[in-house]
Chains A and B, each alone.
Chain A
Amino acid sequence: MKKAKLALENGIVVEGISFGADGEAGGEVVFNTALTGYQEIITDPSYKGQILIFTNPLIGNYGVNYEDVESKSPQIAGLVVYEISKFYSNWRAVGSLEDYLRKHGVVGIADVDTRFLVRQIRDKGAMRGVISTVDLCDQSLIAKAREVPKMSGLDLASSVTTDESFFFNKDDGSKFFVVIYDFGVKLNIMRSLKNLGCDVFVVPANADADDVLSLNPDGVVLSNGPGDPSALTYAVRNVKKIIGRKPILGICLGHQILALAIGGRTYKMKFGHRGSNHPVKNLISGGIEITSQNHGFAVDPDSMKEKDVEITHISLNDGTVEGMRLKNFPAFSVQYHPEASPGPHDSSYVFKDFVRMIESLKY
């Protein structure tokens, strides 16, 4: 069994067993509390630049399959688990998680006290860290952890966005035509829109608003994605132009960009929200949705006070903003992931609301 180590910037180093690829990887260390859906999570582009800890101690049990991916390959910088299952059992499985990660060059460490690490992050905030199978010197690893770029101010969307625009499973019979700004879009956002009769055209993060408007879409979706929204000045500029011209749906990073576009502020959270059990209150309906979340930044509600915007959703865990809608324009956004995958389907109505909005404006 090959050894690996994980070092955090606060000087904590834990030793474990290597799995996945050999090598070294740095990133912001974050944790996700979902009990299922590891394949969706590790392939979610929003995790770019992050070393992920699963709080679920038993990972890999059902292997990996072809369908449960949110992008072409794993996006995480590294993976930390308590126990990696060497064996998988599920009728859809085509291989083991370990092989999958190895194939895609993702470094993993197992057999460490993940709960201890989570408590560190919970108490001290998200930290930078390094996993290595090649350098097992504590001091060196700590130094490397401190060299990892800080998440604040980081534009990671540009590193995960598509190079070229493309149609997602083009279907000429679709009722609506929707453009998605790809800041790191999850496949299930595309699938969800597709299933509601939208033809989905995906454009790069830096696509010019005028070009997008010239396509005359029925609506524009600002996708999820990694990194600090405030670093995406180009995106904010583009979105400003689209507001009022086309219906907008913002999801996660897209929600933050929409907030910035109307003059709001975002901030880095202590350790963010990552999991499939986050209760969100819909302030309009009064109902509660159990949501899938993955964000380290949030919209500052104080910065929204003077704006023509209504906070529509809040987190029941900590009161943070989870959704908003513009009062004067057809645009709304959610901080959580209505496309789920992984996570409960309580919020799938968000896409329906968006399509309804498109429809009402179209006809």
Chain B
Amino acid sequence: MKTDIKSVLIIGSGPIVVGQACEFDYSGTQACKVLKNHGLRVILVNNNPATIMTDPEFADATYLEPLTPYFLEEIIKKEKPDALLPTLGGQTALNLAVQLHELGILEKYGVKLIGSSIEAIKKAEDRELFKKSMEKIGLKVPESAFVKTVEDGLKFAERIGFPLILRPSFTLGGTGGAVAYDFDDLKRKLEKALIESPIRKVLIEQSLIGWKEYELEVMRDRKDNFIVVCSIENFHPMGIHTGDSITVAPAQTLTDKEYQRLRDYAKMIMSEIGVETGGANIQFAIHPENGEVFVIEMNPRVSRSSALASKATGFPIAKIATLLALGYTLDEIPNDITKKTLASFEPSIDYCVVKIPRWDFEKFKEVDDTLGVQMKSIGEVMAIGRNFKSAFQKAIRSLEIDRFGLGCDGKDEIQNFEGDGALKRKIVERLKQNKWDNIFWIRYAFMSGMSVDEVYELTKIDRWFLYNLREIVEIENELRKIPDIFKLADENPSLAREIILRAKKNGFSDKQLAFIWGRTESEIRDLRKKLNIIPVYKTVDTCAAEFESYTPYFYSSYDLENESIPTDKRKVLIIGSGPNRIGQGIEFDYANVHAVFALKEEGYETIMINCNPETVSTDYDTADRLYFEPITFEDVMNIVELEKPDGVIISFGGQTPLKLAKVFKANGVKILGTSPESIDIAEDRGKFTKLLDELGINYPACGYARTIDEAVEIANMIGFPVLVRPSYVLGGRAMKIIYSKDSLVDYLKNEIKISQENPILIDQFLEDAFEYDVDAICDGERVLVMGIMEHIEEAGIHSGDSSCIFPPIMAEDDTIEKMIEYTQKISLALKVVGLINIQFAEKDGVVYVLEANPRSSRTVPFISKATGIPFAKIATKLLVKSSDAVIDEFGLYDFNFRNLRIKACKAPVFSFSKFPNVNVFLGPEMRSTGEVIGLSYSFGESFAKAQIGAGNLLPTSGAVLISVNDRDKNQKVLKIANEFVNLGFKIIATDGTAKFLRSNGIYAEKVYKVNEGHPDIVDYIREGKINFIINTPLGEASRFDEFAIGRNAVKYKIPFVTTLSAGLSAVEAIKKLRQGNLTIKSLQEYHTEIKFEIMK
């Protein structure tokens, strides 16, 4: 033991938002493991229920409480930790640590900060101090100034000129960051940036747009030992946020002289800032023509890039950082992978790593999809290849955007490159804008004969990268010249082999080859195998094979020697969930990790395949064998054929693995759990409604349409409003509630392209119905309902975007009984083995089934946290052993969620502040990026905690703005208004609402809508006269007002709700908050109680 510390508080990073994703679950989980292994008492605070780190076994006391100073103080008061480790929970944890320090809380309770010091955090995070520090050691930072007012910013601009970069202090993912090109632009953007900064301070900076950008991931111990874990070169130049840049490791275009200079600088920076026991990430900009170096920024903590660097090298940064925080030095820590060597070295890698961000712009149509200084991506993929070209193409297919490499996969927007200058002009125009899909336009540029230099001038992407992309295009062109590869394979197999092998070495997928040669993917696959072109697997070993490695962490390449030697153990392959995106986030990685844990307990060898570097599933410590590979049929099947697993699990990782069900079946792969036929029935609306008919279960009337006429006919038959969507979608993509024939036609013409191949589904929309999510486990014969979650909002809002309460509080017993009965019927009819999630709606006492998904759901981790029962693990065990044995193991004899006293509330978290111009109203299309949980014994308190945790800081006094649509001018809104009046709030309302309230005896101050005159709503918000907003959307009518209210609420961080049910819940919550005395209980304490409750 290196320290006298006996207990450590770890702060997690909270909900997933743009700029802060599940990489902090990975790092936090590692930290918890290290601390527990050292016999320390671990106290963890994180209100994100979908994390592995908040599983009760990873800490001694796990608090799923909001990440605010108030709750932290309460927890510290109760737990009295000796130390706080704030460097593993992202910016959130670091900011909280600073706040706790500034409020004197750390000092008051004698909590020591480890892993970093307040001084170091401030020096690194506060740009003014950072700039001073850099100047002190003679390093250049861009010319800049801190401003607190718009006037100061304009003065700076007069001196420096444009363009200028604006960076608000202390924000996530560069929130509020922008580039200003002229004075008007600066005025507008600076105003926003000032608001984004919690300390109302913005850095205005000389722009280095177009410079080369690098990052070093470094570590330092208390004895001043320093290492660089990984160098990262950004494919995209300065001007595009690193989180939105394609990045490559190791750096590719620096000589040793230039690289060592960065290393020297990094070492000086670490020592100047005073990072003494941990890791940091330092960003540099290098002038492409003369090598001039600027320091851009430093994160004195584990970051997104650290997760990437850890996965890219096999060097576990978070784990080592934790050990350093405990006082170890690098030479006292063994390298897990080689066992014989130590952590005090710099990893060498013999492959190339490419990260590509995953954007979800189709969810945010209003968002400008140009990349800039503000991060917009939701997730990321990483790919490993022996060369840049293969890693790049693999990364593209890992994205799951239905692309299979750098174009030539049949999905290219431009297929014909013959001819006129118009095309070239179009390409030039596109390349001038930094769109996320520019990589494909670079291909078009090369296809149409543009040179590397021309493309460089437009993009400032280093010529070396561009040259490599052009090589991919050249290989494609050569492949196209072969008229018939099959004929060639017959006549000259060795030549055919050479040609295909070269393509494969450069990352071409079978799908691309199939497209080039007009064949099917399986024909190419067969030919490839006939010619003995199969991938080998190389090891990620931190040391470029210099030492033997003991961790089976692999990636594919088309080389000579295969290092992945399958064992003869009983084994199961678990297919990962790929990149985070809206609708498929960390919850599915959580379930997969649980599947791994469960199978390990049952004595199976576990094999994981995934391509998301942020996850716990891609930690080499999680599964027995890890393949860092794209999740496509080709890549997965190659592993299946090598490993020959006894079974494959596809029902835990969301839609990604599930999509492979059919091809797996066709290729004789044994799928554990629910059969592909059943999955198909559940996903195919026609088959599913037929099943519901047979079972006598209600569902909203619906129909398929393949033409606009058909759609109108069906909608008329069902009756408006209707819910319309393309079939087979994720997260309700392009789903919409439509109230009239005209808007239906408009939607089908403009928003989704209806066709014979792409039919649309039209559902009856159950207006004002209550919605429920039910999760259950089935062994094919018996069904266990894990829980029913009651949505707070009425039907029409995507379940992923709804708040919900578990167990239900409003539902009638009959409704619950019906849902349980239907769940049982459907599960048995589908012969589900494993998990199933069913969504219900109840209107006027009738229960309807909306959809059923025979797989792990978004809510499985939520229910597991609320009940203490690891349902994902249980469901996994059902796949490999008898259900009686499973029931025995987990004591599930009489589990009945209705006996639970706990009230768990879930609230979605949006990243609206990252997406200017996005409408904040909820709808059938999911747009939340994460979620939080609130736990207590009352609905009001749990809702309050969830809202606070989600950043909606409910006020306990002040003024509430009410502006509701006509449908909502009802008893409910009166009740809400009355309650607020009783609580002493002032009511402010827009004209119509005010009249309605007044006519019902409630005094409301009238405020102008936008454009009605001043002061209007926005003025009120800006002036801080409004503390809470209830604003329900007007449907399809003028949205301008709502839009302005919503955006300004986001901007000025005023809590708001957009449904009356949420408003009513907020009243309950505010009442509880005013009473004070909130429950501060660890998960372990709740779970101990629950054990007694369910044994009743």
Q: Which residues of A contact B (CB under 8 A)?
A: 14, 31, 33-37, 39-40, 55-58, 61-62, 65, 67-68, 82-83, 85-92, 112-116, 118-119, 122, 275-279, 281, 286-288, 290, 316-318, 340-346
Contacts and interface: CB of A to CB of B under 8 A. Distances in A.
B260 A345 contact: yes
B714 interface: no
B253 A90 contact: yes
Interface size class, chain B = 35 or more
Contacts of A65: 255
Interface of B: 223-227, 231, 250-260, 263-264, 288-291, 329-331, 340-342, 344-352, 386-388, 452, 462-464, 467-468, 538, 543-548, 559-561, 563
B331 A275 contact: no
A122 B231 contact: no
Given A68-B257, A287-B223, A35 B342 contact: no
B257 A67 contact: yes
Given A122-B548, A341-B256, A344-B260, 20 more contacts: A33-B546, A34-B256, A35-B250, A35-B348, A35-B349, A55-B544, A56-B250, A58-B352, A68-B255, A85-B467, A87-B464, A87-B468, A113-B561, A116-B559, A118-B545, A119-B561, A286-B223, A287-B223, A290-B345, A317-B341
Contacts of B231: 35
A343 B264 CA distance: 11
Nearest to A273: B546
Contacts of A83: 386-387
A252 B255 CA distance: 24
Contacts of A122: 545-548
Given A118-B544, A119-B561, A345-B264, A316 B344 contact: yes
Contact of A33 (B223, B254, B348, B462): B348
B344 A58 contact: no
Contact of B260 (A91, A112, A342): A342
B260 A287 contact: no
A20 to B, nearest CB: 19
Given A35-B250, A82-B386, A89-B464, A279 B255 contact: no
Contacts of A90: 253-255, 258
A118 B331 contact: no
Contact of B543 (A33, A36, A37, A114): A33
B545 A115 contact: yes
Contacts of B226: 290, 346
Residue with the greatest number of chain B CB neighbours at <10 A, chosen from A276, A288, A343? A288
Contacts of A290: 226-227, 345-346
A61 B251 CA distance: 10
B252 A87 contact: no
17 contacts: A33-B546, A35-B349, A58-B352, A62-B255, A62-B464, A82-B350, A82-B387, A85-B464, A89-B462, A90-B258, A116-B560, A119-B545, A288-B344, A316-B342, A317-B342, A318-B340, A345-B264
B386 to A, nearest CB: 5
Contacts of A37: 255-256
Contact of A113 (B255, B463, B543, B560): B560
Contacts of B256: 34, 36-37, 39-40, 68, 276, 341-343
Contact of B341 (A39, A114, A316): A316
B546 A118 contact: yes
Given A35-B250, A92-B291, A343 B561 contact: no
Residue with the greatest number of chain B CB neighbours at <10 A, chosen from A39, A91, A342? A91
A329 to B, nearest CB: 30
Nearest to B347: A277
A115 B347 contact: no
A276 B543 CA distance: 11
A85 B346 CA distance: 25
A14 B560 contact: yes
A339 to B, nearest CB: 12
Residue with the greatest number of chain B CB neighbours at <10 A, chosen from A31, A87, A341? A87
B225 A56 contact: no
A82 B505 CA distance: 11
Nearest to B560: A113
A74 to B, nearest CB: 16
Nearest to A64: B255
A56 B251 CA distance: 11
Contact of B254 (A58, A62, A316, A317): A62
Contacts of A88: 464
Nearest to A87: B467
Contacts of B288: 91
B331 A288 contact: yes
B228 to A, nearest CB: 8
A337 to B, nearest CB: 12
B260 to A, nearest CB: 6
Leading 3 A-B pairs by shortest Cβ distance: A37-B256, A342-B256, A55-B544
Contact of A55 (B289, B545, B560): B545
Nearest to A39: B255
A344 B266 CA distance: 12
B460 to A, nearest CB: 12
Contact of A287 (B225, B257, B546): B225
A333 B1041 CA distance: 78
A62 B560 contact: no
Contacts of B341: 279, 316-317
Nearest to B538: A115
Contacts of A281: 331
A61 B252 contact: yes
Residue with the greatest number of chain B CB neighbours at <10 A, chosen from A14, A65, A83, A281? A83
A247 to B, nearest CB: 28
A171 B1081 CA distance: 75
Contacts of B548: 122
Contacts of A118: 350, 544-546
B359 to A, nearest CB: 27
Contacts of B289: 91
Contacts of A344: 260, 263, 346
A34 B350 CA distance: 10
Contacts of A34: 256, 348
Contacts of B388: 58
Residue with the greatest number of chain A CB neighbours at <10 A, chosen from B258, B260, B289, B561? B260
B613 to A, nearest CB: 19
A62 B253 contact: yes
Contact of A115 (B223, B224, B559): B559
A342 B260 CA distance: 8
Contacts of A40: 256
A278 B344 CA distance: 9
Contacts of A318: 340
B386 A317 contact: no
Contacts of B290: 91
A85 B253 CA distance: 11
A288 B330 CA distance: 9
B348 A57 contact: no
Contacts of B331: 279, 281, 288, 316
A211 B289 CA distance: 49
Contacts of B255: 36-37, 39, 62, 65, 68, 90, 92
A37 B251 CA distance: 12
A341 B259 CA distance: 11
A288 B225 CA distance: 6
Nearest to A121: B545
B345 A36 contact: no
Contacts of B467: 85-87, 89
A33 B544 CA distance: 7
A286 B345 CA distance: 15
Contacts of A92: 255, 291
A278 B546 CA distance: 11
B314 to A, nearest CB: 13
A89 to B, nearest CB: 4
B547 A36 contact: no
B375 to A, nearest CB: 27
A87 B464 CA distance: 7
Contacts of A115: 350, 538, 544-545, 559, 561
